[in-house]
Amino acid sequence: MIIKTLVENTAHDAQFETEHGLSLYIETSRHKLLFDVGASDLFAKNAVKMGIDLAAVDTVIISHGHADHGGGLRTFLDLNDKAKIYVNQNAFDEHYSDRPTGIADIGLERQLLPDERFVFAGDHLQLDEELQLFAGVEVKRYYPSGNETLLMKKGPVLTQDDFSHEQNLIITEAGKTVLIAGCAHRGIVNIVEQFHGLKGSYPNVVIGGFHLYNRSKKQQEDPETIQEIAEWLLKTQAEYYTCHCTGLGPYGIMKDQMKDKLGYLATGSQLRLFNNLEEMELKK
């Protein structure tokens, strides 16, 4: 399996542009897929630089209904005429952010609907032997405080987002499992625990943003909470790669604690998994 980071907040080197968003290109034994498409057409520009043919992608997973993860959908639909796009059934609901400058619409582009290429998933969907989606994660602990500025429309009223539109991807290959989360709005610990409930074991690898930094408030989780999360993750014995909404400050705290069990996926990084040796080019 190979995972290439097309979009992330930081860059592996200066040839790649960046934005606040996430897009991963993943090749497995059966699929060429995208997990999220960033906030704009930047994922496509960086794909060209990385030698990736987006027309060959067969599957797209959108992790949740925020524009920094699904803002590139129109561009993708123009470049690719075959891939199915899997979104949660609530992903196209209205979503907002309470910012110092006012309430901002951060939802997906609803004008893209209807389109038969979109597949709307519920709490669980098995795509095939390799790919599985799950949502409806039960919140037990370490709920990100950064969620407090994120809103959804319920009827005519804006209320706290419950992230019922967030889904996570499980990839199974060569007897190994990879769990991929977009922003882990329901808490990375809770998501990993739900994986354990589904599979009866922990994943071999976990990838995604951990939402430990509030961009609107420019504020991170307190260091003690970050350390507790890192300690819990270490107990699973999985390999972790984070990015995007984790924040570089929280990443530094976790890296000090987790050592080689934690890496960072910046734009342009390439990660190979399960090929005897794990090889990675990443931002240190």
| Residue 181, pLDDT score | 98
Q: List, as own/partner pairs, every contact residues 110-115 make where C-beta atoms lie below 8 angstroms and the sequence separation is at least 24, other chains included.
A: 112/73, 112/74, 112/77, 115/77
| Residue 283, pLDDT score | 38
| Residue 2, pLDDT score | 97
Contact call for residues 84 and 133 (beta carbons, < 8 A): no
| Residue 281, pLDDT score | 47
pTM of the model: 0.95
| Residue 127, pLDDT score | 97
Q: For the chain, how many structural domains are there in total?
A: 1
Could you report the average pLDDT of every consecutive run of 10 residues in the chain (284 residues)? 97 94 97 98 98 98 98 98 97 96 96 97 97 97 95 94 97 96 97 97 98 88 97 98 96 97 97 68 42
Query: Which CATH number covers residue 53?
Result: 3.60.15.10
State the residue range of the domain holding 273. Answer: 2-281
Burial class (CB in 10 A: 0-12, 13-18, 19+), 95: buried
| Residue 215, pLDDT score | 86
Contact call for residues 64 and 183 (beta carbons, < 8 A): yes
Q: SS3 letters for the chain?
A: CEEEEEECCCECCCCCCCCCCCEEEEECCCCEEEECCCCCCHHHHHHHHCCCCHHHCCEEECCCCCHHHHCCHHHHHHHCCCCEEEEECCCCCCEEEEECCEEEECCCCHHHCCCCCEEEECCEEECCCCEEEECCCCCCCCCCHHHHHEEEEECCEEEECCCCCCCEEEEEECCEEEEEECCCCCCHHHHHHHHHHHHCCCCCEEEECCCCEECCCCEECCHHHHHHHHHHHHHCCCEEEECHHHCHHHHHHHHHHHHHHEEECCECCEEECCCCCCEEECCC
Q: How far apart are CA 83 and CA 81, in angstroms?
A: 6
Q: What order do you get walking across the sheet with 95-99 strand by strand?
A: 102-105, 95-99, 150-154, 157-160
